[in-house]
Every structure is written in C-alpha cells, then in structure tokens.
C-alpha cells in the first residue's frame, strides 16, 4: 500500500464531532472528486469517483447522515494499466440534490460549480482543517518519504489553486504551484512543512511514521558523512605515508640513511617500522614524543632531500 493510501485510510476514519466540520470534509472531497451530471429532462446527478474504498465508505455514510438523500455506491474494475478498483458514490436525481450542491458550495447564485472556496464552509478554524482534510482525500498525494519529501494537491482551476494556497498560508504553510499538462499542482517539498500539514488535517499516525523515517534518514546520512570523512582521512594518511616511504627509499638508495642527521634518521626508522599510522600517531611513538608540527617539519626536510636527489638524477 502506498504512503498516500495509508494517510487516506487514516483520515477517512476520523469522525468529526460537529456538523459544520463534517460538511467541510465532504465539501473538500466532493470539490476535488465530484462531478455534476445533467441527464435527460435536465435531471441533475452528483457523482464522486475515488480509488480508495475507505474514502468511498466515508462519503457514502456522510451523504446519508447529513442530507438523508438516496445514495448509491458501485465498484468497477479497471481493465487497463491499473488493475485496482474504482468506487463510484452517486446521488441520483431527486428533490434534495440542489440542497446538497448548495450546502457543499457547488452552487452560487443558482449556478452550479463555484471555483472559489465558499467562505461559509470554512468560517471556523476547525472547519478549515476539515476542509483541507477533504481536499487531500480527494486530490492529495504524498511520495514515499524513504525516497523524497513531496506532497501535492492537483486541481484544474487556477482560481481555485490560488484560493487553496491562501487557505494553507493561513496555517503558516508555504505552498508553491506548478503546471502539469492541463492541471495545476499545489505542493509542499520541505519535510517540516509536510509534517505541519499532516498535523493540520489530523493524520497523526502518518505524521509519526514520517518523523521516524526522517530521523532514520538523518541518522543514515550522518553515518555516511562520518564514514566518508573517515575514509577520506584514511586515504590521505595512506597517500602521505606512501609518499614518505618512497622518499626514504630514494634517500637510502642514493646516499644511505646513515648519512642523515640523527633526528631525521630516527623519523626514518619510525616510519619504516610503522607505515600505516598517521603523522600525529607516528610522533607519539617517538622517544621523546614529537608533536605533529615537528614531525611535519622533519618529513618536509626528508622530502626536500629526496627532491634534490631526483633533480640530480635528471641532470
């Protein structure tokens, strides 16, 4: 099951205590997934299509409870690429259909379809949260947080996208919008913003799951950074040691280590006995111990001698 469907299953089971919030959830859902159909004799039907069974059940129960209207629910099997079921919740033509459309904000001044969010539906903060919940149930999705952080809501109306972003900003969210084919996508990409949105719409279990995944990813990234840093340091140590041993071998071959000053001879012997340790560790092994800067100075002197011998060999 996708992360989006897990969230929708959780949200669809939330029972809003007040009628205004129940209407707000249903209004958001129907605005995104609903279609007004006009048949013969100008008979008006309302149809809601969803791929989520829990969402379909919630819509069916809410319509029956809030409006006491005759409601049908059917299941269809897709035969093409997606083999999942689609669920159709339908209010056939009846006397109360105009009341449903009006209450859910799908009619304005006697005309069906209202591109704005009806302010009456979202007059309270609790209703605003419920409305956003319905919007996500209808047209929201969240990518698998193991891969990326991306929450989006798809709409086909520029005016509605602006209204939706304005509502989200009311909760200090910072949504952005982009176009995709013939639709507009309102989206959040920062994990903190997505977590806040999930909290607003009441998806607390999904919020905790996302937090756990984020913590695990942060820990993995930190471990990877430490390992990469340690590996880089180890490679530098090995490269430096190989270069130093190469210089020592050249000096031994050309002039002999015994002709070096005693301090340099002691460093040569220590390096040959401990080829794998860092310069700092090598200094600690000296008797008496030598600091890293002192070891650096002596190694640079050996390198200068080796470079001088290389130049003479080329002449």
> Each residue of 43-60: pLDDT tens digit?
889 999 999 999 999 999
CB contact set of 182 (below 8 Å; sequence gap of 6+): 156
Mean pLDDT over the full length of the chain = 88
Reply yes or no on whether the pLDDT at 114 is more than 70: no
> Each residue of 217-244: pLDDT tens digit?
888 888 888 888 888 888 888 888 888 8
- The pTM assigned to this predicted structure is 0.72
pLDDT at position 166? 94
Spell out a b/e string for 208-244, using b for 16 or more CB atoms within 10 Å of the CB, else e.
Answer: ebbeebbeeeeeeeeeeeeeeeeeeeeeebeeebeeb
Using alpha carbons, select from 147, 67, 73, 154 the residue that is nearest to residue 102.
Answer: 67
pLDDT at position 112? 59
Reply yes or no on whether the pLDDT at 3 is more than 70: yes
* Residue-range domain boundaries for the chain: 14-202, 218-314
Q: What is the CATH number of domain 14-202?
A: 3.10.28.10
Within a 10 A sphere around the Cβ of 97, how many other Cβ atoms? Answer: 19
Spatial separation of the C-alpha atoms in residues 12 and 56, rounded to whole Å: 9
Would you place residue 258 in the very low, low, confident or very high pLDDT band (cuts 50, 70, 90)?
Answer: confident
Would you place residue 262 in the very low, low, confident or very high pLDDT band (cuts 50, 70, 90)?
Answer: confident
Spatial separation of the C-alpha atoms in residues 23 and 251, rounded to whole Å: 88
Reply yes or no on whether the pLDDT at 176 is more than 70: yes
């Amino acid at each position: 099951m996708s992360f989006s469907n897990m969230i929708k299953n959780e949200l669809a089971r939330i029972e809003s205590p007040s009628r205004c919030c129940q209407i707000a959830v249903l209004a958001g859902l129907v605005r995104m997934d609903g279609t007004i159909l006009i048949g013969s004799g100008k008979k008006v039907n309302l149809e809601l299509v969803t791929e989520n069974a829990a969402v379909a059940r919630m819509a069916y129960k809410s319509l029956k409870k809030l409006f006491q209207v005759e409601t049908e629910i059917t299941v269809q099997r897709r035969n093409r690429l997606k083999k999942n079921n689609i669920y159709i919740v339908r209010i056939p033509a009846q006397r109360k259909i105009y009341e449903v459309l009006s209450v859910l904000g799908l009619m304005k001044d006697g005309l069906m379809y209202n591109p704005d969010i009806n302010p009456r539906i979202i007059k309270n903060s609790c209703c605003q949260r419920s409305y956003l919940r319905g919007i996500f149930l209808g047209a929201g999705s969240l990518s698998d947080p193991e891969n990326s952080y991306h929450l989006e809501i798809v709409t086909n109306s520029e005016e509605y996208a602006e209204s939706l972003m304005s509502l989200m900003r009311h909760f200090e969210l910072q949504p952005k919008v982009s176009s995709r084919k013939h639709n507009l996508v309102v989206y959040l990409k920062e994990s903190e913003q997505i977590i806040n949105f999930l909290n607003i719409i009441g998806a607390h279990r999904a919020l905790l799951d996302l937090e756990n995944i984020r913590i695990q990813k942060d820990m993995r990234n930190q471990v990877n950074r430490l390992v990469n840093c340690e590996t880089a340091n180890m490679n530098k140590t090995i490269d430096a040691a190989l270069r130093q041993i190469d210089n020592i071998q050249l000096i031994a071959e050309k002039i002999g280590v015994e002709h070096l000053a005693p301090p340099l001879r002691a460093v040569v012997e220590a390096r040959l006995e401990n080829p794998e340790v860092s310069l700092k560790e090598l200094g600690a092994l000296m008797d008496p111990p030598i600091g890293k800067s002192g070891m650096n100075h002596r190694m640079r002197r050996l390198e200068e001698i080796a470079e001088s011998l290389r130049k003479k060999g080329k002449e």
